[in-house]
Structure 1
Amino acid sequence: MLTLKDKIGLVVGIANDRSIAYGCARAFRAAGADLAITYLNDKARGHVAPLADEMAAEMFLPCDVEDPDQLDATFDAIGARYGKLDFLLHSIAYAPKVDLEGRLVDSSRDGFGRAMDISCHSFMRMARLAEPLMEKGGALLTVSYYGAEKVVDNYGLMGPVKAALECAAQYMASELGPRGIRVNVLSPGPIATRAASGIPGFSGLIDDTTRRGPTHHLAGVDDVGAMAAFLVSDLAANITGNITFIDSGYHVVA
């Protein structure tokens, strides 16, 4: 039986009730986990606070991963309150609009570097801070997309950034495995999140996935949440380094 009772989880990346991170947080909470939930800034707080209240989150913290002090403070607060962390979900990605909408070869050095820092390297920073809190093992999850493996029209800059994230997660799985810390990647199909709205032609991608995917329907945030809850549970104790598609089978279609 899947249960997360007595487990403490950190969820980073909820923007609103359409966020993948929100679907995952709901699944974690439904399975019995206690959650610490973060928000990006004061503007985002108003959207995230009601969701944190809904899930009875015991900790609600500001966490801008570009601010080292805020990131350190998040993990320090979890350590002070619980003395441990059992799992975390990293569900954040960013690229400057001008770089995201243009060709990859035209992307700016600064834009590419910032996208890589926020979307990829921040996961490594979180892992480093989580490791001392996972003395008895734990689970780290991040979120990618099929555009990391194959060229998807208009995905552009985020393709190589997500490819780096997937590769990093596999190296992290190797490095942290001896500590009992598992690292896995969720790869959902297209979901109408706020972040996805910035991808040109996104509605066409949804239509194509629905038409060509084997099940002919879209996976939603609750489908992703169900897989996330499984992967951080003890039922997945020997699953690490995986990139798990939750895309109604679209990734198998030529």
Structure 2
Amino acid sequence: MTLLAGKNAIVYGGAGRVGTAVATAFAEEGAKVFLAGRTRSRLEEVAGRTRSRLEEVAGRIRAAGGAAETAEVDALDERAVDEHADAVAAQGGVDISVNLIAHGDVQGTPLVDMSLADYERPVVTAVRTQFLTARAAARHMILKGSGVILLFGGAGEPVREFAVGGLQVAFHALEAMRRQIAAELGPHGVRTVTLRTGGIPETLPAGFPDREAIEENIAGKTMLGRAATLADVGAVAAFVASDRARTMTASTVNFSCGALVD
């Protein structure tokens, strides 16, 4: 029996590496996946590329026997987020919502050399998109008396080896939001959980500065001598979103291979 049979899952940022992994795992476990995001990046638009990255992901899911729909949704646009959630709810409700939108963070620049705009962008983007997407889903989940809202990243200690700009601040802000959302939605049967990995080397793009050193650093901090993979992210997300994890809320799921100690 599949874990998410009969569930509707919205995955914001479904064309990204993590979003693709989560959406694929949800579909494999029987959920109907609604991939939301900007269908093309700005670079792709400039290059004249017409095929949507979201459609590519959805096509692979359908080819494997899963169900997937796509929609162009700017997660910073309040009206667009609400209208999309309403459309999904009209197809049987919103059971799962996970926001994997990129925060637009600038890394590699020391704080003393960073502009205010670059520092605050990931914080503002993370807080705004998570609030809008969680609120849109929660309104429908309350009516059903059930639902799961997943966040990704979690708070952590300061990063000593690399300059990460406002990224950690954004994660801490989301954790504060997650705690409050869980407290307010718990009485309605809605769960809220953050997924933490400690870093996923596969998400680093080719040509990323100091990529090899970063990969070694991520794996070197773990107790298992290896980092979480994208497949791990999908598997854990599917479990946490399922009824088998129905007692889990107001919590963080740590699958960092021991890099993060609770």
Normalised TM-score (structure 1): 0.86
Q: Which residue of 2 aligns with 1:157?
A: 166
Cα distance, 1:227 vs. partner? Answer: 1.0
Q: Distance in 2 between matches of 1:126 and 1:173?
A: 15
Equivalent position amino acid for 2:248 in 1: I
Q: Which residue of 2 aligns with 1:7?
A: 7
Q: Distance in 2 between matches of 1:58 and 1:181?
A: 23
Q: Distance in 1 between matches of 2:2 and 2:53?
A: 30
Q: Which residue of 2 aligns with 1:229?
A: 238
Q: Which residue of 1 aligns with 2:60?
A: 54
- 1:102 is aligned to 2:100: no
Structure 1 unaligned residues grouped into runs of 5+: none
- 1:32 is aligned to 2:30: yes
Q: Does the 8 Å contact 2:2/2:30 carry over to 1?
A: no
Cα distance, 1:167 vs. partner? Answer: 1.8
SS of aligned partner of 2:36: strand
Q: Does the 8 Å contact 1:29/1:55 carry over to 2?
A: yes
Q: Moved runs in structure 1, 4+ residues, more than 6 A? A: 195-199
Q: Does the 8 Å contact 2:10/2:33 carry over to 1?
A: yes
Q: Distance in 2 between matches of 1:195 and 1:215?
A: 21
SS of aligned partner of 1:35: strand
Equivalent runs, 1:85-164 vs 2, <5 Å: 85-95=94-104, 97=106, 100-104=107-111, 106-134=113-141, 135=143, 136-145=145-154, 148-152=155-159, 153-164=162-173
Equivalent position amino acid for 1:73 in 2: E
Q: Distance in 2 between matches of 1:116 and 1:26?
A: 28
Q: Which residue of 1 aligns with 2:81?
A: 71
Cα distance, 1:111 vs. partner? Answer: 3.5
Structure 2 unaligned residues grouped into runs of 5+: 45-50
| Same amino acid, percent of matched pairs | 27
Question: Residue 69 and residue 75 in structure 1: after superposition, are their counterparts in 2 closer, same or farther (change >3 A)?
Answer: same
- 1:241 is aligned to 2:250: yes
Q: Which residue of 2 aligns with 1:252?
A: 261
Q: Distance in 2 between matches of 1:68 and 1:20?
A: 23
Question: Residue 138 and residue 198 in structure 1: after superposition, are their counterparts in 2 closer, same or farther (change >3 A)?
Answer: farther
Question: Residue 162 and residue 96 in structure 1: after superposition, are their counterparts in 2 closer, same or farther (change >3 A)?
Answer: closer
Question: Residue 151 and residue 104 in structure 1: after superposition, are their counterparts in 2 closer, same or farther (change >3 A)?
Answer: same
Q: Which residue of 1 aligns with 2:188?
A: 179
SS of aligned partner of 1:92: coil
SS of aligned partner of 2:227: coil
Q: Distance in 1 between matches of 2:5 and 2:81?
A: 26
Question: Residue 46 and residue 192 in structure 1: after superposition, are their counterparts in 2 closer, same or farther (change >3 A)?
Answer: farther
Q: CA RMSD in A?
A: 2.4
Q: Distance in 2 between matches of 1:89 and 1:189?
A: 18
Question: Residue 150 and residue 138 in structure 1: after superposition, are their counterparts in 2 closer, same or farther (change >3 A)?
Answer: same
Q: Does the 8 Å contact 2:219/2:226 carry over to 1?
A: yes
Normalised TM-score (structure 2): 0.84
Q: Distance in 2 between matches of 1:204 and 1:90?
A: 28
Q: Distance in 2 between matches of 1:128 and 1:212?
A: 36
SS of aligned partner of 2:5: coil
Cα distance, 1:76 vs. partner? Answer: 2.1
SS of aligned partner of 2:192: strand
Question: Residue 202 and residue 171 in structure 1: after superposition, are their counterparts in 2 closer, same or farther (change >3 A)?
Answer: farther
Moved more, 42-51 or 59-68: 42-51
Tell me how many residue pairs correspond in the alignment.
246
SS of aligned partner of 2:158: coil
SS of aligned partner of 2:177: helix
